[in-house]
Chain A
Amino acid sequence: MKVKLYVVSAAAALLLAAVPMMAHHSFAAEFDGNKPITLKGTVTKVDWMNPHIWVYLDVKDDSGAVTAWQCEGGPPNTLTRNGWTKDALKKGDTITIDGSLAKDGSKTCNARAVKLPDGRSVFAGSSGGDAPTAKQ
């Protein structure tokens, strides 16, 4: 498994207009919508706490080196109202996260989508057009 940094395509650029709901703070304060990232790794921990959930995962590169990443998800209250619980994702689960990189260069991302190997999305509802679009 390796970290893949994708070039922004037209479709991806449009998709970024629907970055995750950031009710608590501005997306642009922390993340770069022009730096999409896909992470494949193993869940080490889930913080199911306000103001946003965080998913921690170990990502192994081609040489076998493991890097710890952390990705911000939606607000737990919204996720709860959509029927999700912390147990939807467990330590040891293999997941793929599509998201945006933090601006500070740390191993931090904003998760737009979290998927299990069989393609099922976890925490659906954390993403979806509620976030601000780019400043005009």
Chain B
Amino acid sequence: MTKRFLSSVGVGLCLTISAFAQQGAAPARGAATPARGNGAPRGPKAPEGPAPKMADGKPDFSGLWQRPYVPDMTKSSRGGDQKGMAELPFTPWGEKEWKAYDAEKGDYTGACLPFGLVRSMNSPDPIQIMQNKTYMSLLYEQNTWFKVIPIDGRPHRKGTPTWFGDSVGHWEGDTLVVDTVNFNGRTRLDTIGHPHSDQLHVVEKFSRPDLGHINYEITIDDPKTFTKAWTNTRVFTLRPDWEIMEYSCEENNKSFWEGRIKVPKYEDQ
């Protein structure tokens, strides 16, 4: 850890962080390695073994998964479990949206509005995946949201645009490909605020090389915001020692109630 900090942020930070890390009081009960670092390896070693299969022979992604936190999709993690897109290919509209973004003027996540698909996949909290032949359900601990994805090859539904969009999945060999469109355009891709429009089209690819891991790839295709599609890749780690927990964003959201966080102004409102 020390070498990694030395190489990345300099001696001063290294000494400070190391001291902080090592002086921590003994936790109240036994626990995994503290979750610090942007995607750095954390916790116990992942379970080993072959990837489980459904009755139809397709991979079963069920389990509780720890994921790298991706607050900025241009960045890669130090631990190697997240590869970012260094330079985003903005259109003039996208560039303008990005430069104009100011979280102080409006932060929809701080107001507990839905994170949307991409930012939910970027959040640091674990997800529980449950799957059968027809559906894969993603239960996001972040704000206790969920998404139910048909994976039997059916076409997109037509309906009102939504925060999470309309997702359908199909198999390409042992890879599950989830295609999502029909977003309402009110979200941001990541915590730092990279933009997208209502023309966003997301393609996610899930594969399970072994019991302990999911290889995850997400492609952002949005012709209004970007001149070409671009991709992030990540590795999720199975955490059989964890259970999903309740997460109420509204429970004690003082920052919003006391006016320090504001709701964004949307053009159509």
Contact = CB atoms under 8 A, between A and B. Distances in A.
Interface of A: 10-11, 14-15, 17-18, 21-26, 28-30, 47, 49-52, 54, 70, 72, 75, 77-78, 80-85, 87-88, 102-104, 106, 108, 113, 115-116, 119-122, 124-125, 127-133, 135-136
The list of the 9 closest CB pairs from A to B, nearest first, reads A83-B27, A128-B36, A83-B31, A11-B12, A25-B110, A124-B24, A125-B34, A29-B103, A29-B107
Nearest to B252: A49
Given A18-B13, A47-B252, A26 B193 contact: yes
Contacts of B104: 28-30, 103
B34 A124 contact: yes
B16 A11 contact: yes
B248 to A, nearest CB: 5
Given A26-B107, A54-B252, A72-B255, A132 B192 contact: yes
A102 B260 contact: yes
Given A29-B262, A82-B35, A132-B192, 5 more contacts: A72-B255, A88-B28, A124-B21, A128-B35, A129-B36
B93 interface: no
A127 B9 contact: no
Contact of A50 (B191, B247, B255, B262): B247
Contact of A22 (B143, B191, B246): B191
Nearest to B25: A120
Contact of B110 (A30, A83, A87, A120): A30
B23 A120 contact: yes
Interface string B93-111: 0000000010110010110
* Among B12, B125, B255, residue most surrounded by chain A Cβ atoms (within 10 Å): B255
B247 A77 contact: yes
Contact of B25 (A18, A116, A135): A116
B32 interface: yes
Contacts, number: 183
A131 B35 CA distance: 12
Contacts of A22: 71, 191
B212 to A, nearest CB: 18
B255 A132 contact: no
Q: How large is the interface on B (under 10, 10 to 19, 20 to 34, 35 or more residues)?
A: 35 or more
Nearest to A16: B13
Given A14-B13, A30-B261, A83 B28 contact: yes
A68 to B, nearest CB: 13
Given A29-B261, A82-B34, A106-B260, A77 B13 contact: no
Contacts of A129: 36-38
A83 B193 contact: no
B242 A81 contact: yes
Contact of B28 (A28, A84, A127): A84
A71 to B, nearest CB: 11
Contact of A127 (B20, B124, B242): B20
Contact of B125 (A25, A77, A87): A77
A83 to B, nearest CB: 3
A72 B140 CA distance: 23
A79 B241 CA distance: 15
B123 interface: yes
A131 B259 CA distance: 21
Interface in B211-255: 242, 245-249, 251-255
15 contacts: A11-B16, A25-B110, A26-B103, A26-B192, A26-B193, A29-B261, A30-B110, A49-B252, A51-B253, A83-B27, A83-B29, A85-B29, A128-B35, A129-B36, A130-B38
A24 to B, nearest CB: 6
B69 A21 contact: yes
